[in-house]
Amino acid sequence: MVDNRFLELKKISKTYPGVKALDEVNMDICQGEIHALVGENGAGKSTLIKILAGAEIPDPGGGIYIDGEAVSFSHPLESLRRRIAVTYQDLSLFPNLSVVENITISRQIEEGAWRLDWEVMTDTARDALARLDLNIGLNTKLADLSLANQQLVAITRALVHDARLLILDEPTSTLSHEEVNALFRVIETLKHEGMSVLFISHKLDEVFAIADRITVLRDGQHVGTYPRTDLDEAKLISLMVGRDIRFAHYERLEPGPPLLNVKGLHKRGHFAGISFTLHEGEILGLTGLVGAGRTEVAQAIFGQIIPDGGQLFLHGEKVNIDSTNQAVKAGIAYIPESRQTQGLFLGKTLADNLSVIRLDSLVNRFGLIRRDELKSYVQNWIKKLAIRPPYPEMVIDQFSGGNQQKTILAKWLAYEPKVLIVDEPTNGIDVGAKSEIHQLLRDLAGQGMGIIMISSELPEVIAVCDRILVMRRGRIAAEFDKDTATQEKIMNVAILGNNAQRSVS
């Protein structure tokens, strides 16, 4: 391989109070390569990226070199001047401005333009979008775009900034299959133009599909950087977690009597003809492309959106659910797809966040919190979901993205509803912790809970669910049994609508 390394990190460390997030990490980026950064939740991936972005300052003792020259960034603008562009999950775009403005405004500001030249801006944005073969309306307000397109706008902006390195922190975690493909096409184009891309992902199939080299971090240390062709998935996992992990085969009991009956649920423009039965002790998978209507159906069952028609029966009795309050009273809980800090009390500790929902049961009749019980309750959930680091008194803001997700999940799982709907429960969660969450869901089902699991990750759906419904364009297009479901069959239905073999129940 030609040595075209242009960026080097040497002995980069970052210490937070009590945590060494990075410990003398060495790595380099070559020009025109796609480089994946992987590791368990809390391994230090986001911290490394923040340092490259000038958003965090590393400990003294290490160095960043560009073309052999030592550089230091103490502000995001400084790394942008060195042509390093970062898009975080929140994308830092301007929702009320147009696509043109979002793509070009920071460039204009950086160049010190004393007035905005609308014509130049439009031309620049149009060219950049065309170079990436993107079909996004120039004058559309950003807020009116899908999340996927907003992300593509953020990437187009990096192109306009003439970035040498584009950094993406979990860019695919909220994208559908088709959107991921579109993003990857754009990344490949950038690569052919000589740009380098560094991205973080927990989805190893994606890493193998697109990365030229893969860097593995574990507990803040650099395990190694490998050409993709030197690794396979099993090898990579053992490098990440230091042990072998396989998707376990879960003990499944015969599902019990019908618990929730959904009959003919429909809402104009969203979904129609939704009928199915969820049994006690059953995990029912609800899959399909993002946008197929899965989340809307869940929200309708949970009273968050009111359907135009249809009926719900719990234990055979008709229930009217017009509000989330009624749903909760009836014993239905819905854990929405969590994005970053949504659903957390920022500034509060891990213990506070974990216990907030069960506080009533942890208070004695004098209104005092039973400290010992609270403590063991919190410890128990930290252990169950392997939350790292296991410090109840640490402020939630200081946990890594994946550990924040686990906290949100734990908070709701503790609620012990009869019917639990989880939406993409393992999004952003590492491969080791994933199997712990799967086991937990199986355990809850084993206690009689009925669970609807919305997930786009087919290996997960197949490993965990008893039955799988595939939605396509607002309808249930097929139903599979755990023994007959394969990824291929499910994808076929989800994308093409083939193979419709639903036995209406």
Ligand X SMILES: Nc1ncnc2c1ncn2[C@@H]1O[C@H](COP(=O)(O)OP(=O)(O)OP(=O)(O)O)[C@@H](O)[C@H]1O
Binding positions for ligand X, rule: CB under 6 A: 16, 19, 21, 39, 41-47, 389, 398-403, 430
Minimum separation from the CB atom of position 201 to ligand X (A): 10
- Using CB under 5 A as the binding rule, the residues of this chain from 142 to 201 that contact Mg ion are none
- What residue type is assigned to position 70 of the chain? A
Give the per-residue contact string, 354-393, with Mg ion (x = CB under 5 A; - = no).
Answer: ----------------------------------------
Q: Which residue has the closest beta carbon to Mg ion? A: 46
Minimum separation from the CB atom of position 106 to Mg ion (A): 24
Nearer to Mg ion, 46 or 79 (CB): 46
106 binds Mg ion (CB under 5 A): no
Nearer to ligand X, 89 or 299 (CB): 89
Of these partners, ligand X, Mg ion, none, which one is at the site of residue 398 (CB under 5 to 8 Å by kind)? ligand X
In the chain, what is the straight-line distance between the N-terminal and C-terminal CA atoms, in Å?
A: 58
Of these partners, Mg ion, ligand X, none, which one is at the site of residue 455 (CB under 5 to 8 Å by kind)? none
Of these partners, ligand X, Mg ion, none, which one is at the site of residue 41 (CB under 5 to 8 Å by kind)? ligand X
10 Å Cβ neighbour count for 95? Answer: 12
- Using CB under 5 A as the binding rule, the residues of this chain from 387 to 416 that contact Mg ion are 401
3-class secondary-structure state, position 173:
coil
Report the alpha-carbon distance of residue 10 to residue 27 in Å, rounded: 7
Identify each DSSP E strand in 31-118 by its residue range: 34-38, 63-66, 69-71, 84-87
| Helices of type H across 71-131 | 76-81, 99-110, 118-131
Question: Which of 46, 124, 172, 427: binder of Mg ion (CB under 5 A)?
Answer: 46
Nearer to Mg ion, 48 or 493 (CB): 48
Nearer to Mg ion, 104 or 403 (CB): 403
Q: CB–CB of 38/201 below 8 Å?
A: yes
Minimum separation from the CB atom of position 447 to Mg ion (A): 33
Minimum separation from the CB atom of position 297 to ligand X (A): 29
Minimum separation from the CB atom of position 291 to ligand X (A): 25
> H or E stretch including 221?
strand 221-227
Minimum separation from the CB atom of position 170 to Mg ion (A): 7
Q: Which residue has the closest beta carbon to ligand X? A: 402
Give the per-residue contact string, 321-360, with Mg ion (x = CB under 5 A; - = no).
Answer: ----------------------------------------
Of these partners, ligand X, Mg ion, none, which one is at the site of residue 19 (CB under 5 to 8 Å by kind)? ligand X
Of these partners, ligand X, Mg ion, none, which one is at the site of residue 497 (CB under 5 to 8 Å by kind)? none
Nearer to Mg ion, 145 or 429 (CB): 429
Nearer to ligand X, 94 or 226 (CB): 226
- CA distances 380 to 215, 358, 384, 402, 414, Å, are 33, 13, 6, 18, 11
Nearer to Mg ion, 32 or 389 (CB): 389
- Using CB under 5 A as the binding rule, the residues of this chain from 199 to 258 that contact Mg ion are none
Report the alpha-carbon distance of residue 52 to residue 470 in Å, rounded: 41
Give the pairing of strands 19-30 and 34-38.
unpaired
Sign of CA dihedral 237, 239, 245, 246: positive
Minimum separation from the CB atom of position 376 to ligand X (A): 23
DSSP of 263-277, one letter per residue? EEEEETTTEEEEEEE
Nearer to ligand X, 42 or 331 (CB): 42
Burial 148-171 (b: 16+ CB within 10 A, else e): bbbbbbbbbbbbbbebbbbbbbbb
Minimum separation from the CB atom of position 37 to Mg ion (A): 10
3-class secondary-structure state, position 463:
helix
Please provide the size of the chain in residues.
Answer: 505
Nearer to ligand X, 11 or 203 (CB): 203
Phi, psi of 127 (to 5 degrees): -60, -45
Nearer to ligand X, 301 or 431 (CB): 431
Minimum separation from the CB atom of position 349 to ligand X (A): 13
Span of 45-53, 54-62, 384-392, 433-441 interacting with Mg ion by CB under 5 A: 45-53
Burial 422-438 (b: 16+ CB within 10 A, else e): bbbbbbbbbbbbbbbbb
Say if residue 38 is exposed, middle or buried (CB neighbours under 10 Å; 0-12, 13-18, 19+). Answer: buried
Chain residues that interact with Mg ion, rule: CB under 5 A: 46, 401
